Amino acid sequence: MAFYWKIGNGQTTSLWFDNWHTRGPLNLFFSDSLIYSSGLSRQACVADLFSDAGQALRWVLQSWGQPLPTLTNDPDRCCWRESSSGQFTMASAWNYIRKKRTRVHWYSFVWDNAIVPRYQLNLWLMAKRRLPTQDLLLAYGIIGNAACAFCKNVPDSLDHLFFYCCVTASVAFFWASRCNLPWRNRGWGENFRWATTYLMGKDFYKCIARFSFGALCHIIWKNRNDIIFRDQPLSIPAIKNHLFKVVRDKAITFRNVEDNFRNRRLQRSWSLDPIIFNGDP
C-alpha cells in the first residue's frame, strides 16, 4: 500500500483497518470473530492496543517478530511511501502508477524546457501518432468523408499535414529559411527524426530553432482546427505572423546571447530585439 500511518500517540489511527503495521492492516489477518474475541472493538485505535484490554493482542503481534511502535505525544501522521519525505506529491504519484519503460529517443527533444508546455503536448501526441487527424477518424468510422483543411485535395494525416501538404510545406520552408536550416519535405517520421538529430543543443541558435519547430507544428494544427470547426479562412500571412510573434516573444527572454555571425543572422531573420546580446534586463 502506498499510504501508511506513522504512529505518534496512536489516537487517530484505526487499530484494525489502517495501514500502520509493517504487514498491513490487521483486518487482513484477523477474521470478524477473532476481532470480536480480542476484547478490542472494531472502532479501537492503536493507542488501545497498549491498554490492559489489548495485552492478549500485543502478545500475538509481538510473536510475528516485528517490533510494535512506541507511543509518543506527537499526533499520528499519514505518510506517502513513494516519497522519502513521506509527503504526497503529484510527481511521486505519477511515478508510482505509471509503467516504467526505456526512454524513447525523442524524450529530451519534446520535453525540453526551451519548448512551452502546449507545444510539448502537441509534439508528444505527434510523436505517438495520436493526433486525431482525418485519416484516423475515417478509419474509426467517426466521420464519413473529409478533405485537408489547407489544400482540399485528400483527407489529412500526420504525414500529410507535416509536411506533404503544399500549403503547410510552404510554411515549413518559410520557417527553415528563417532559421537558415536545410529542408526538404518528407513524411512526419523522417522530419521528426531530422529535428531530434539536428536541432538539439543548449546554445541560443538551437534553442530558438527547437522552440520555433514546436511552435510551427502547434500553429499548423491550431489553424487546421480553426478552419474545420470555426469556419475561419485560411491565411498564410497570418500563420507566418503568428510564428514571427511567438519566436520574438521567446527570444526576448534570453540575455547575454553570444554575439556571433550565426546568432546575428538568426536575430535579423526573425527581427529579434538586439537587446538579447546585452546583459541588462
* Mean pLDDT, range 1-14, rounded to an integer: 92
pLDDT category at 233 given cuts 50, 70, 90 is very high
Query: Does pLDDT of 46 surpass 90?
Result: yes
How far is 81 from 118, CA to CA, in rounded Å?
Answer: 32
- Here the contacts of 116-119 (C-beta below 8 Å, separation 24 or greater) are 116/211, 116/214, 116/250, 118/218, 119/211, 119/214, 119/215, 119/217, 119/218
Q: How far is the C-alpha of 3 from the C-alpha of 17, rounded, in Å?
A: 13
pLDDT of 262 strictly over 90: yes
Burial (CB count within 10 angstroms: exposed 0-12, middle 13-18, buried 19+), residue 261 = exposed
Residue with grid cell 480480542, as numbered in its chain: 38
Indicate the length of the chain as a whole number. 281
The pLDDT, as a whole number, for residue 18 is 95
Range 120-136 average pLDDT: 95
pLDDT over threshold 60, residue 57:
yes
- Say what the pLDDT of residue 247 is: 97
What CA–CA distance (Å, rounded) separates 218 from 165? 16
Residue 281: the pLDDT is 46
Report pLDDT for 280: 54
| Residue 279: per-residue pLDDT | 62
